[in-house]
Structure 1
Amino acid sequence: MPGKQLSVVVTRRLPEAVEARMSELFDVRLRNDDTWLSRSELLARVRGVDILVPTLTDTIDAEVLDAAGPSLKLIANYGAGVDHIDVEGARSRGIMVTNTPDVMTEDTADMALALILSVVRRIPEGMAQMQKGDWNGWSPTAMMGGRIGGRKLGILGMGRIGQALARRASALGMSIYYHNRRRLRTETEQALGATYWESLDQMVANMDVISINCPHTPGTFHLMNARRLKLMKPSAVIVNTSRGEVIDENALTRMLRAGEIAGAGLDVFEHGTEVNPRLRELQNVVLLPHMGSATVEGRIEMGERVILNAYTFADGHRPPDMVLPEMI
């Protein structure tokens, strides 16, 4: 069976079905507990391995690649984003990098829409009121949110997830606009009912809702900076299910506190688990612990793609989900 001799190191606990299948196919070292590896643990764990299966919580840089040595030939990332991996450095050492595209598309789009609904309709505020026992009955002016239908949604990043969100939001009566590195084909725009804005500034200034769906790259770091956030209408909201680094979190926090932006729904944060404490205090903000892809189906499918890439590589063929530096 191809790959039986190859050693595989996994840096985090994966769904049981995924770990069981990996154990059947490879000489795999799994984790017993679901914690982040320390830097020293990661460096020790990668030495002499053939295939490394990291997640977004692992920084795979030159030091890690050097520690792994010449035996490492494949980094099969468990996840779509690869901004935590030195892809160029890996390639220069003859190491292939793969990811798990597509499988998280629908789940993440669901979460983006859930955040839009939660913020605009003030759902968490209502839940908090009920859980505290503070509800005194219906009132004509209590907990008034906004109507979703008719709102303008500006999607920043119209890839697979952005398009999946567009289809969902359109079904709820939202008008769809987008800014992207490359304009979509005319037939795709027509199918989505989406209008392209070449100027991100102009799109931001005219939208009721902004959804961040682009990857984190050097070019997208703080793409929504203080200047651009100030272009948003005071009644607008922003949601992010992509990467926290795309938004200047401190600037966003200041503007939310000042009422210059109506609300935000965030599933990702600029500094990982170190969420701005002032952000936690705001009632007009919905914060989630990076749950965008957290479905049983999605996480198992991610594992299946990792296995497919590793197994194909072990069989002497090019893995189907190769990541190249020019793709980032």
Structure 2
Amino acid sequence: MAAHMSAGGKKIVGVFYQAGEYADKNPDFVGCVEGALGIRDWLESNGHHYIVTDDKEGLNSELEKHIEDMHVLITTPFHPAYVTAERIKKAKNLELVLTAGIGSDHIDLLAAAATGLTVAEVTGSNTVSVAEDQLMRILILLRNFLPGYQQVVKGEWNVAGIAHRAYDLEGKTVGTVGAGRIGRLLLQRLKPFNCNMLYHDRIRINPELEKEIGANFEEDLDVMLPKCDVIVINTPLTEKTRGMFNKEKIAKMKKGVIIVNNARGAIMDTQAVADACSNGYIAGYGGDVWFPQPAPKDHPWRYMPNHAMTPHTSGTTIDAQLRYASGVKDMLDRYFKGEDFPAENYIVKEGELASQYK
């Protein structure tokens, strides 16, 4: 399978979430099925066939109907089409898989590499959106905001019920597991709060930037964890990080820790998190990533105490949608012309995985 082919009659399938009644509420709402990334007219005017659906699961799904003859698949982390080795094997014409956003772990990257598929994403498109969301969740959990809001909705008034577990962010130690684009943006946004900042990553931040941010590097994750009042997960999901935060790893954390995870749900041991929230070892857990997605109704994180969970929304703000839609259009245009993408956008190229997935 060639990485780039010349233009002419390509079949492109996009898998996005349905907007339904919200589709017409904002003309910039392009990240949904109805918005179709805003590229339908452009694609079809250039002779391409563009199919968009939210139906992605199972042998009878709309996606499955088009697997054998599609050339390009566009999917998102927010409503991921799981591109398994079995699906890749069926996709005889597939040349390119694009992630509209950041994070391509819904794709079997080893199978993609072995088959010669190109996998790319819109690097940087929603980093600001996710970093802002992480900061919001830290404050929501530390200040015990949600029970207060729920009191108001229920017509109650019990200050003690909120205040007994509400804290300031100032003076707390916040550690990020991963300090790539999102992790660094979060650290920069935390600086004005006068908290102690730590980070663990396989690559150390440039010394000048590290000094400017005011964060300290921790080479050993197990040394960093017990120091932190707040831990933020900012590492990609790989075979090394899948299920990394299990019962044993959580036990290394400080009792009463707050965890924010907008990276990937499968980095956490689902039941271990639910148990630790239930017994109070984790004082609060917040994020917008689950495994699988959409999360089933019986997912234990829906019902554990002291959580601030939402559907996967942090990286799909309207601003982020416009950025990743523009990035997808740019890469498709380059693909049709046989040109390379920006180097940082590649996840799999010519059989090689990007370093963060190795």
User: Scaled by the length of structure 2, what TM-score is found?
Assistant: 0.84
Match of 2:258 in 1: 237
How far apart, in 2, do the equivalents of 1:75 and 1:114 lie? 32
Paired amino acid for 2:82: T
Q: Which runs of 5+ in 1 are unaligned?
A: none
* Percent of aligned pairs with the same amino acid: 26
- Describe the superposition over 1:150-170 as per-residue Cα deviations: whole angstroms up to 9, x where unpaired: 111100010000001101111
The answer as to whether partners of 1:8 and 1:49 remain within 8 angstroms in 2 is: yes
Q: 1:163 to 1:47 in 2, by over 3 A?
A: same
What SS is found at the alignment partner of 1:52? strand
How far apart, in 1, do the equivalents of 2:86 and 2:47 lie? 25
How far apart, in 2, do the equivalents of 1:279 and 1:60 lie? 25
How many residue pairs are counted as aligned between the two chains? Answer: 322
Paired amino acid for 2:221: L
Identify which of 270, 289, 299 aligns with 1:268.
289
Identify which of 111, 114, 117 aligns with 1:89.
111
Q: What's the offset of the Cα at 1:49?
A: 2.0
How does 1:164-243 map onto structure 2 within 5 Å?
Answer: 164-243=185-264
Q: What's the offset of the Cα at 1:175?
A: 1.6
Q: What's the offset of the Cα at 1:186?
A: 1.1
1:315 aligns with 2:349: no
Q: Which piece of structure 1 moves more, 292-301 or 39-48?
A: 39-48
The answer as to whether partners of 2:119 and 2:346 remain within 8 angstroms in 1 is: yes
1:12 aligns with 2:16: yes
Identify which of 145, 157, 163 aligns with 2:184.
163
Paired amino acid for 1:38: G
Q: What's the offset of the Cα at 1:21?
A: 3.9
What SS is found at the alignment partner of 1:114? helix
How does 1:1-328 map onto structure 2 within 5 Å?
Answer: 3-12=7-16, 14-15=31-32, 16=35, 17-25=38-46, 27-31=48-52, 34-41=54-61, 42-56=63-77, 57-69=80-92, 71-135=93-157, 139=159, 141-144=160-163, 145-272=166-293, 273-274=295-296, 277-320=299-342, 321-324=345-348, 325-327=353-355, 328=357
Q: Which piece of structure 1 moves more, 282-291 or 96-105?
A: 282-291
Q: 1:279 to 1:67 in 2, by over 3 A?
A: closer
How far apart, in 2, do the equivalents of 1:84 and 1:209 lie? 28
Q: 1:278 to 1:89 in 2, by over 3 A?
A: closer
Q: 1:316 to 1:280 in 2, by over 3 A?
A: closer
- Describe the superposition over 1:33-66 as per-residue Cα deviations: whole angstroms up to 9, x where unpaired: 5444434433321222222212342111222222
Q: What's the offset of the Cα at 1:91?
A: 3.0
- Describe the superposition over 1:139-160 as per-residue Cα deviations: whole angstroms up to 9, x where unpaired: 5x45111001111110001000
The answer as to whether partners of 1:248 and 1:270 remain within 8 angstroms in 2 is: no
How far apart, in 2, do the equivalents of 1:26 and 1:197 lie? 53
The answer as to whether partners of 1:125 and 1:283 remain within 8 angstroms in 2 is: no
How far apart, in 1, do the equivalents of 2:46 and 2:145 lie? 46
Q: 1:167 to 1:20 in 2, by over 3 A?
A: farther
The answer as to whether partners of 1:12 and 1:30 remain within 8 angstroms in 2 is: no
The answer as to whether partners of 1:250 and 1:276 remain within 8 angstroms in 2 is: no
The answer as to whether partners of 1:216 and 1:246 remain within 8 angstroms in 2 is: yes
- Describe the superposition over 1:239-280 as per-residue Cα deviations: whole angstroms up to 9, x where unpaired: 100001111121111111111121111211233303665433
What SS is found at the alignment partner of 1:106? helix
Q: Which runs of 5+ in 2 are unaligned?
A: 1-5, 18-30
How far apart, in 1, do the equivalents of 2:189 and 2:314 lie? 15
How far apart, in 2, do the equivalents of 1:7 and 1:290 lie? 28
